[in-house]
Amino acid sequence: MAIENKAPGKDISEEDLKTKFPLVAKKSADHSSCFSVAGVEFGGDLIPVMAGPNMVESEQLIVETAQAVKARGAHFLRGGAFKPLSFPYRSEKYTETREQGIAWLKTAKQETGIPIITEVMEERYIDLIADVADILQIGTRNMQNYPLLTAVAKTGKPIMLKRHYGASLRDWLGAAEYVLVEGNEKVILCERGVSVAHTHRSSSRFLLDLQVIPAAKEVTHLPVVSDPSHATFWRPWVEPMALASIAAGADAIMLEVHPDPENSAVDPLQAINFEAFKALMASMNKVAQAVDRRVK
Amino acid sequence: MAIENKAPGKDISEEDLKTKFPLVAKKSADHSSCFSVAGVEFGGDLIPVMAGPNMVESEQLIVETAQAVKARGAHFLRGGAFKPLSFPYRSEKYTETREQGIAWLKTAKQETGIPIITEVMEERYIDLIADVADILQIGTRNMQNYPLLTAVAKTGKPIMLKRHYGASLRDWLGAAEYVLVEGNEKVILCERGVSVAHTHRSSSRFLLDLQVIPAAKEVTHLPVVSDPSHATFWRPWVEPMALASIAAGADAIMLEVHPDPENSAVDPLQAINFEAFKALMASMNKVAQAVDRRVK
Amino acid sequence: MAIENKAPGKDISEEDLKTKFPLVAKKSADHSSCFSVAGVEFGGDLIPVMAGPNMVESEQLIVETAQAVKARGAHFLRGGAFKPLSFPYRSEKYTETREQGIAWLKTAKQETGIPIITEVMEERYIDLIADVADILQIGTRNMQNYPLLTAVAKTGKPIMLKRHYGASLRDWLGAAEYVLVEGNEKVILCERGVSVAHTHRSSSRFLLDLQVIPAAKEVTHLPVVSDPSHATFWRPWVEPMALASIAAGADAIMLEVHPDPENSAVDPLQAINFEAFKALMASMNKVAQAVDRRVK
Amino acid sequence: MAIENKAPGKDISEEDLKTKFPLVAKKSADHSSCFSVAGVEFGGDLIPVMAGPNMVESEQLIVETAQAVKARGAHFLRGGAFKPLSFPYRSEKYTETREQGIAWLKTAKQETGIPIITEVMEERYIDLIADVADILQIGTRNMQNYPLLTAVAKTGKPIMLKRHYGASLRDWLGAAEYVLVEGNEKVILCERGVSVAHTHRSSSRFLLDLQVIPAAKEVTHLPVVSDPSHATFWRPWVEPMALASIAAGADAIMLEVHPDPENSAVDPLQAINFEAFKALMASMNKVAQAVDRRVK
């Protein structure tokens, strides 16, 4: 009659860590991964910043943004080329730039030297994307697409694994283990907002889960990135949530930065412009220093 | 200062239906798809029942179950052969049977004549699976794996699209549109439980969202299946939620049935045995008749 | 390093049932409360129906509705007189009728003989309300207002305890125990929708949690009511969810019925008119019979 | 056929701010309330810290804690005397101390001079509690207990209104408006964790919603407090979430501090000891300074 636990719940036990997540699990209380990507260290004192537009809209846009964010201290340029909408049609303003976008990212990298992070959605484009990207991003929709995880892992490239907006910490770590089991240890976890009952604005679909940062760090040695732009979906909340992410222990910050946010091809409510990015870098650095870290 | 809606929220407008989900959208208030799969009609008076084990554990298990569920009125045999765990290791009891499992499903089909539904997780196995399966299932983890959706759509086979446990109706319909846009109109939506704050047992990770059935039917002509076994994760709740699904308007029911549930290789708390399945078929038929439908 | 359970989670153990919810807990697998209110039995074969407007707007409205719902088979008249909005001002159409509304309920009862259920929000009005009400309703906002629960319990009147939209089963049962410990055993639990990430319409704020019905009945002997009107907030979904409630095992149904729903003073999207109520009574009875119960 | 918005959703419009939340609403973009309580300013540069045990267990405990937290920089002593469990029985260790507890709080105040915040759950104890308390706390369970809100408002005392764990920002502001409409403008909002699908530990029932801080400040001038102890329910997460709260813009911090946390009468997993509190005050001050504020 009573409710007994005969099946695993949402928790992660010591036994689980040993048998299900052995590579993701911390080996000791102070075990924390630290690795270098394109000369930028993840998991150390530095909190790398990945900045750029949601979408690689044009060559001019991405080169201009690469220059601007690099000049203002960003460590990586972010931008999506393969980025389908949640329905199979183009919107009025929005068209995936795909192979063309990847080529433009390459130009941006050549002209500025800034390393690149961009998303892989399909096995067939891994080589094309890995040729320019320094970090391969797995998006929320593919968090549990294990064949894709296995395939990107095999490139040996660093992988940033976005948490699904409905996923538990347990499921997220299990997905990361699929990458590590292939011998690829450069995995970065990325929190980007979860679906909840109340998001405070109908245009904000997610709530940034900062509690998952200490929760993840309790069990895994992998660095954890926070993406306040996508999570909040609302420009005025990006700064406070970026600062809060750093104070909560985030190891890197991903931000949407666009030369003209209101005319962004997608998600015009969340990107910040170059000037706001500059100010945010300064305020992030102050909070980082308060927790004995730095963004510069 | 006030919160204004400049971006789309979670709603689906008339305009969205025309521009983003035109093929999934109802053309008129009484528009409802009706199509036949292996001689079984979906979307009509009949509420087809898909029954079988979570996993195709062995040839004997799947043939025995095929015979038993067919004899008790099931219209389809369900069973997973490609079914990775949420971490990349085998559990003590659990091993994917993959190609071997598909071959066993083929044997079960040949010996009993029951049509098959089984999951496709990777493009490379589509042909292998489509050779035996009458319906290709897309699982919750792949709901927004659009390349996979496009690839399975092109087989022309009926597709059952499971809703992600964190997905909105909008995202689910968008994923279905990716199948229909390829010219494949035989799409069946499947509700299998959503993640919520309170699930009443720690072993029950999901809540069956029956409200999504009338909500979906308000905007789409596609049939909607309910999977109370996976949603409840708890045997005693399967019957009430199966009956409730039918009363709420479900067009088909998916159930986990196993000759020896407590010794099932996976999810031993949720499958029902042959006897319970027989009783449930009878009680489901009574409720179906009360809403002018039938399961037999 | 690992996550260990040192504190109670959301589950309800055998030990909890004995020490925290001893009066609410079932004494045996088939223990189920059955009691009579104003000659109507709760917890037996009959599924009583409580119907009426959200608010007791006027004497004419409530008397007319009392006559209409009684004639169509309702067992109780529902209607709120004390019913503040979620901000302290009157809306254009909406004014609480308070003492006046209670007097009108009394008139409706005298003229038709139908028993009454109405909400108590404050200790000081208990006597006034208990004078006319056959069942005292505790609303979602007061589910854990223990002093109020204690005070209504002491009247000896049957109590219907609405689940808070964010409450766990555990918290709900704990609140019920506060009533039973006062010696009042006539407690009816009422599920009225929970807050979730996705509700399918922005106007629908809740999701009817039907899984809580078998979950509650697994541990408690108390009858469980379902309120599909308030939960769905959308007229077209009321019928399917009312039928699903009965199939899921609900012991009573609460419905919003109004002579002119679109001009209802509050929540005009969810009430059904007299004709729809009549049809729903017929369809509910068919489903009830399919599960060996009845609404008439 | 399509889903149209005829009813208010979860958003707060300009119109809502004018008609439903006029007193709570900001009058201009930089409108922010600033008021003094017992000589401590809320809403200014200072971020007051409220520290103490969950429960006023004994005179010795509360006096010792008052001395210790005051010496380490706390601005208010917190502690509950009226604090029922979620079921109507005492646990082995836990007994409400009620009137006795209030008397002990008075002793603590007299001996140390530290101002007091404690919870009011019932109108009949308002005078008793208001005699010692400098701030009256309304707990999560009573957030929408409007008669109680009205009664505490009339004392003229500052009110701290905890958000219900399932409440929207809209409902929370509406509750605050019930206090302001009585002429009491000293209202402090307190975020203490919301119920979500995934909390990372079964013992952690809530997720601290830091996104609500900028969301609230966008529409209201009221100060917002964060309570990371209760939200996380887990000692190791208190520090990162306290720091994140400050970085997100919290105007005050509430913390559970206990001389011997593991032997706390209630919630032994979340309180921190005096030494940890001292260290946290230092780290909070560093983060506060990074955002141009201070805790000292």
**pLDDT beyond 50 at A76:** yes
Query: Of D152, D160, D134, whose CA–CA distance to D77 is shortest?
Result: D134
pLDDT, position C204: 81
Contacts of C121 in chain D (CB under 8 A): 146-147
- Partners for C (CB, 8 Å, 3+ pairs)? A, B, D
3-state helix, strand, coil in chain B (%, to 5): 40, 15, 45
Query: Of B254, B242, B250, B167, whose CA–CA distance to B211 is shortest?
Result: B250
Average pLDDT over residues B211-223: 97
Nearest Cβ partner for C165 among D7, D11, D166: D166
Both tokens of B273, joined, read 């045995």
- Residues B2-40: tens digit of each pLDDT: 333 333 445 788 899 999 999 999 999 999 999 999 999
C-alpha torsion B260→B265→B266→B272, nearest 10: -10
**Interfacial B residues in 184-223 facing C (CB < 8 Å):** 194-202, 204, 207-216, 218
Does any domain span residue C16?
no
**pLDDT beyond 50 at B188:** yes
Contacts of A233 in chain B (CB under 8 A): 7
Ramachandran bin of A272, using left for φ above 0, alpha for ψ from -120 to 50, beta for the remaining angles? beta
**Cβ–Cβ pairs < 8 A, chains A and B:** 113
Output the CA–CA distances (angstroms, integers) from residue A252 to A152, A222, A245, D216, in the order listed. Answer: 21, 12, 9, 26
- Residues C1-53: tens digit of each pLDDT: 333 333 344 578 889 999 999 999 999 999 999 999 999 999 999 999 999 99
Across the strands, what pairs with C49? C253
Q: What range defines the domain where residue D54 resides?
A: 37-85+94-290
- Residues B147-163: tens digit of each pLDDT: 999 999 999 999 999 99
Q: Does C167 touch chain A (CB under 8 A)?
A: no
Question: Å from D3 to nearest chain C CA?
Answer: 7
Both tokens of D44, joined, read 């200014």
The distance between the two most distant Cα atoms of chain A, rounded to a whole number of Å, is: 69
Does A9 sit within 8 Å of C2, measured CB to CB? Answer: no
What's the DSSP call for residue A46? B
Both tokens of A246, joined, read 């750093």
Nearest Cβ partner for C243 among B204, B211, B248: B248
How do beta strands A40-42 and D187-191 pair?
unpaired
**pLDDT beyond 90 at A11:** no
Contacts of C168 in chain B (CB under 8 A): 197-198, 200
Residue appearing with tokens 């109108």: D123
Does any domain span residue D202?
yes
Question: Å from D89 to nearest chain A CA?
Answer: 19
Average pLDDT over residues C149-163: 98
Model pTM score: 0.95
C249 burial (CB, 10 Å; 0-12 / 13-18 / 19+) is: buried
pLDDT, position C27: 96
Across the strands, what pairs with B255? B51
pLDDT, position B6: 36
Question: Å from A82 to nearest chain B CA?
Answer: 11
Both tokens of B109, joined, read 């089909």
Both tokens of D129, joined, read 């509690």
Query: Of D25, D68, D38, D33, whose CA–CA distance to D218 is shortest?
Result: D25
How do beta strands B35-37 and B40-42 pair?
antiparallel
Does C144 sit within 8 Å of D201, measured CB to CB? Answer: no
pLDDT, position B10: 56
The Cβ of residue D187 has, within 10 Å, a number of other Cβ atoms equal to 27
Does A283 sit within 8 Å of D287, measured CB to CB? Answer: no
Does C29 sit within 8 Å of A219, measured CB to CB? Answer: no
Question: Å from C16 to nearest chain A CA?
Answer: 9
Average pLDDT over residues A256-266: 93
Q: Does D86 touch chain B (CB under 8 A)?
A: no
Query: What is the chain C residue with the closest CA to B217?
Result: C237
D109 or C91, which is more confident: D109
Does B244 sit within 8 Å of C169, measured CB to CB? Answer: no
Question: Å from C203 to nearest chain D CA?
Answer: 5
Beta strands in D53-143 (DSSP E): 76-78, 116-119, 135-138
Give the span between the Cα atoms of B222 and D277, in whole angstroms: 58
Instruction: Report residue C119's pLDDT band, with 50, 70 and 90 as the boundaries.
Output: very high
What's the DSSP call for residue B292? T
pLDDT, position A2: 37
Contacts of C207 in chain A (CB under 8 A): none
Contact B137, B160 (CB under 8 A): yes
Q: Does B13 touch chain C (CB under 8 A)?
A: no
Local structure of C66: helix, strand or coil: helix
Average pLDDT over residues C259-266: 91
Mutation site for D-interface testing, chosen from B1, B11, B31 by largest number of D Cβ within 10 Å? B1
Give the span between the Cα atoms of B244 and B236, in whole angstroms: 14
Give the span between the Cα atoms of D252 and D116, in whole angstroms: 14
Q: Does A287 touch chain D (CB under 8 A)?
A: yes
Query: What is the chain A residue with the closest CA to C22?
Result: A2
The residues, any chain, with a CB within 8 Å of residue A118's CB and separated by 6 or more, are A56, A78, A79, A80, A81, A82, A102, A105, A129, A132, A133, A136, A137
For chain D, residues with pLDDT lower than 50 are 1-9
pLDDT, position C10: 56
Question: Å from B171 to nearest chain D CA?
Answer: 15
**pLDDT beyond 90 at A51:** yes
Does any domain span residue A29?
no
| Sequence-ordered alpha helix ranges (H) in B154-211 | 169-180
Does any domain span residue B216?
yes
Number of residues that this document lists for chain C: 296
Average pLDDT over residues C246-262: 97
Phi, psi of B226 (to 5 degrees): -120, 140
Nearest Cβ partner for A210 among D201, D218, D241: D241
**pLDDT beyond 80 at A212:** yes
Contacts of B145 in chain A (CB under 8 A): 141-142, 145
**Interfacial B residues in 216-275 facing D (CB < 8 Å):** 218-219
ipTM, 2 dp: 0.96
The residues, any chain, with a CB within 8 Å of residue B296's CB and separated by 6 or more, are B73, B281, B285
Give the span between the Cα atoms of A148 and C258, in whole angstroms: 55
pLDDT, position B49: 98
Count of the separate structural domains present in chain C: 1
Average pLDDT over residues A210-235: 97
Average pLDDT over residues C257-278: 94
- Residues C206-243: tens digit of each pLDDT: 999 999 999 999 999 999 999 999 999 999 999 999 99
Nearest Cβ partner for B6 among A19, A181, A269: A269
Average pLDDT over residues A245-260: 98
**pLDDT beyond 80 at A294:** yes
Q: Does B12 touch chain D (CB under 8 A)?
A: yes
Give the span between the Cα atoms of A262 and C84, in whole angstroms: 41
Cα C233 vs. chain centroid, distance in angstroms? 15
**pLDDT beyond 60 at C85:** yes
**pLDDT beyond 80 at C203:** no
How do beta strands D35-37 and D40-42 pair?
antiparallel
Q: Does B58 touch chain C (CB under 8 A)?
A: no
Across the strands, what pairs with D257? D272
Q: Does A9 touch chain B (CB under 8 A)?
A: yes
Contacts of D262 in chain C (CB under 8 A): none
Contacts of D167 in chain B (CB under 8 A): none
Nearest Cβ partner for B203 among A5, A87, A174: A5
Average pLDDT over residues C179-190: 98
Provide the terminal-to-terminal Cα distance of chain B, rounded to the nearest Å: 59
Does any domain span residue C190?
yes
Give the span between the Cα atoms of A52 and D242, in whole angstroms: 30
Contacts of C197 in chain B (CB under 8 A): 166, 168, 194-196
Give the span between the Cα atoms of B275 and B267, in whole angstroms: 19
Does any domain span residue C204?
yes
Contact D228, D255 (CB under 8 A): yes
**Cβ–Cβ pairs < 8 A, chains B and C:** 147
Output the CA–CA distances (angstroms, integers) from residue A137 to A80, A190, B68, B171, in the order listed. Answer: 9, 9, 46, 21
Contact B20, D238 (CB under 8 A): no
Does any domain span residue A156?
yes
How do beta strands B35-37 and A224-226 pair?
unpaired
Does B231 sit within 8 Å of C212, measured CB to CB? Answer: no
Both tokens of B221, joined, read 């002509």
Query: Of B228, B230, B203, whose CA–CA distance to B213 is shortest?
Result: B228
How do beta strands C35-37 and C40-42 pair?
antiparallel
Give the span between the Cα atoms of C290 and B193, in whole angstroms: 25
Phi, psi of D176 (to 5 degrees): -60, -40
**CATH number assigned to the domain comprising residue B72:** 3.20.20.70
- Residues B160-173: tens digit of each pLDDT: 999 999 999 999 99
Nearest Cβ partner for B286 among C211, C246, C290: C290
**pLDDT beyond 80 at A97:** yes
Nearest Cβ partner for D236 among A167, A214, A287: A214
pLDDT, position B202: 75
**pLDDT beyond 70 at C112:** yes
**pLDDT beyond 50 at A259:** yes
Instruction: Report residue C268's pLDDT band, with 50, 70 and 90 as the boundaries.
Output: confident
- Residues A137-148: tens digit of each pLDDT: 999 999 999 999
Average pLDDT over residues A56-63: 97
Query: What's the CA angle centered on B226, arms B225 and B231, to 5 degrees?
Result: 145
**Cβ–Cβ pairs < 8 A, chains A and D:** 147
Contacts of A197 in chain C (CB under 8 A): 166, 195-197
Does C166 sit within 8 Å of D88, measured CB to CB? Answer: no
Does any domain span residue C106?
yes
